[in-house]
Structure 1
Amino acid sequence: MQQDAPKVRLFVDAPLGDGAAVALERAQAHYLFTVMRLGQGDAVALFNGRDGEWRAVATEAGRKGGALRCAALLRPQAEGPDLDLIFAPIKKARTDFIAEKACEMGARRLIPCLTRFTNAERVNVERLRAHAVEAAEQCEILSVPQVLAPAPLAALLDAWEAGRRLMVCDEARDAPPAMDALRAAGREAGSGPGPWAVLIGPEGGFAPEERARLSEAPFVTRVSLGPRVLRADTAAVAALALWQAALGDWRA
């Protein structure tokens, strides 16, 4: 980030532009003016996932509300790779961890997936989005991933988007190493990786019929994440890191 950029960043839904006024919600005002102890005239970095990042100045500062005005563009909007994370929900705190880290790792959409062995079918989408927003604010990211409602694996596969590849993290011993498989897929794709998704299954593994359908799907690339069995939240971070290193924006 530029040296003159404010240290405090805030995600907002309002349009941003030169001179644009942004009204603060009560929780946002409390965070800026009570928790961070900012006041009228202090600067904040704003982003909304569409209009880049802007330096804004507090024009009104109160405990229950406030307002900011955009003063200068800090960074234009930039889009990362078109990468989805599909994951079977687990315990609440560890699902929150997945949402935070997937945002940090550059996922564009988060899709909770219900499988036969999923052990936590209730998912609070708004809670996951809040964790993703907080991660984006802290990590200087310009976009917040979209969090979709939970859907059965079969329904996701039935409605699969044409042209999107799916990296399936498979515990089977015959699955090739992730980096080898992804690099091979990249060579086949030619210029640019195109849209992808990463699928992390439940901690009980995929059911036989789920594994069979995934193995038969022409858009699937099966990969191994190494010699150790990883917990689901660890596997999500490892898989996204490997994809970014092989095909994404980690490449030199």
Structure 2
Amino acid sequence: MSIPRLFVDQPLAEGALVEAAPGQAHHIGTVLRRGPGDPVRLFNVRDGEWAATIDSIRKDRARFAVTTQTRPPAAEPECRLVIAALKREPMDWVVEKATELGATLIQPVLTQRSVADRANATRLTGIARAAAEQCERLTVPEVAEAQPLHRVLDGWNGAKLVVAMERSRAEPPRALPVPPGSPIALLVGPEGGFTAAELDDLRRRPFVVPAALGPRILRAETAAVAGLAALQALLGDWA
């Protein structure tokens, strides 16, 4: 029987008693049918991962007794995903898979051809948290509120922004002029692609690096996963 992993945004140390976050007691007790004395693993970015047991549990509350550290905290390379807001189901899927692929920030943006005009950051953060628990990450990516694309670009700093541009003569990811191990970011546009004005704006930005993701036209959610996988394999923590 696998041991449940839970993200807790509280200090973890030997002998500590930690209260469950909202919803965790129901999941542990009702869905997984665990009770007092059963093992769990708790984690956060500050303290790493710790072994613990269920100290007490009721319908809507639970408390864990922390015992020993199983993994120390570790630095995680910066890997951002900027993606045009999608409809609910594909957006949920992208957040889950981006978390599994090591994205440290997921930034929905609003473009001229976006199929959605908002993204529920609170709900998407819950999806990211659950994905981090399943894939054994020590961190949960930040899911930002959706913003217009130009506003995100105007406030950009740091990482080179790799832009997936279909039907372009851009180089494939393996030829990108980005040093391995440096902060990386991927921008994926909407299903209808960027407008000519948006592409002109992107090409003027000194931090933008156009890239081609193969000879086929990909759905936005496919491009996000394919692009993140390629960047992690060539430049990130897969290398």
Q: Same fold (TM over 0.5)?
A: yes
User: What is the rounded CA distance, in whole Å, between the counterparts of 1:173 and 1:24 in structure 2?
Assistant: 49
Displacement of 1:79 in angstroms is: 2.5
Counterpart residue identity of residue 197, structure 1: A
SS in 2 for 1:78: coil
Assess, with a 3 A threshold, how the Cα gap between structure 1 residues 155 and 25 changes in structure 2: closer, same or farther.
Answer: closer
Question: Which consecutive residues of structure 1, in runs of 5 or more, have no partner in the other structure?
Answer: 187-191
Find 1:246's aligned residue among 213, 222, 234.
234
C-alpha contact 2:160 2:178 (8 A) present in aligned 1: no
Match of 1:67 among 55, 63, 71: 63
Letter in 1 for 2:146: P
* Residue deviations 1:146-169 (CA, integer Å, cap 9, x gap): 0111111111111111x3210000
* Paired position in structure 2 for 1:198: 186
Q: Which moved more, 1:225-234 or 1:22-31?
A: 22-31
**Is 2:171 aligned against 1:176?**
yes
Distance (whole Å) between structure 2 residues aligned to residue 173 and residue 39 of structure 1: 56
**Contact kept in structure 1, 2:181 and 2:237, CA below 8 Å:** no
Q: CA deviation at 1:26?
A: 5.0
Specify the code of the residue in structure 2 equivalent to 1:144: V
Q: Could you tell me whether the CA contact under 8 Å between 1:44 and 1:58 is conserved in 2? A: yes
Residue 60 of structure 1, CA deviation: 0.9
Correspondence 1:125 to 2:121: yes
TM-score by length of 1: 0.91
Are the aligned partners of 1:6 and 1:55 in contact in 2 as well (CA < 8 Å)?
no
What letter corresponds to residue 229 of structure 1 in structure 2?
I
CA distance in structure 2 between the aligned counterparts of 1:238 and 1:85, rounded to whole angstroms: 12
1:85-164 equivalent positions in 2, closer than 5 A? 85-161=81-157, 163-164=158-159
Give, in angstroms, the shift of residue 193 of structure 1.
Answer: 3.2
Distance in 2, matches of 1:55 and 1:174, equals 51
Q: Percent identity?
A: 45
Measure how far apart 1:127 and its partner are.
1.1
Per the alignment, residue 211 of structure 1 pairs with 199
Report the more deviating stretch, 55-64 or 18-27: 18-27
What are the residue-to-residue correspondences of 1:223-238 with 2, within 5 Å?
A: 223-238=211-226
Matched residue type, 2:148: P
Greater shift in the superposed pair: 62-71 or 108-117: 62-71
**Is the 2:174–2:234 Cα contact (8 Å) retained in structure 1?**
yes
User: Using the alignment, how far apart are the partners of 2:211 and 2:44 within structure 1?
Assistant: 35
Q: Distance in 2 between matches of 1:231 and 1:118?
A: 13
- Aligned Cα RMSD in Å? 1.5
CA distance, structure 1, for counterparts of residue 203 and residue 62 of structure 2: 54
- 1:25 and 1:143 map into 2 onto residues whose CA distance is 16
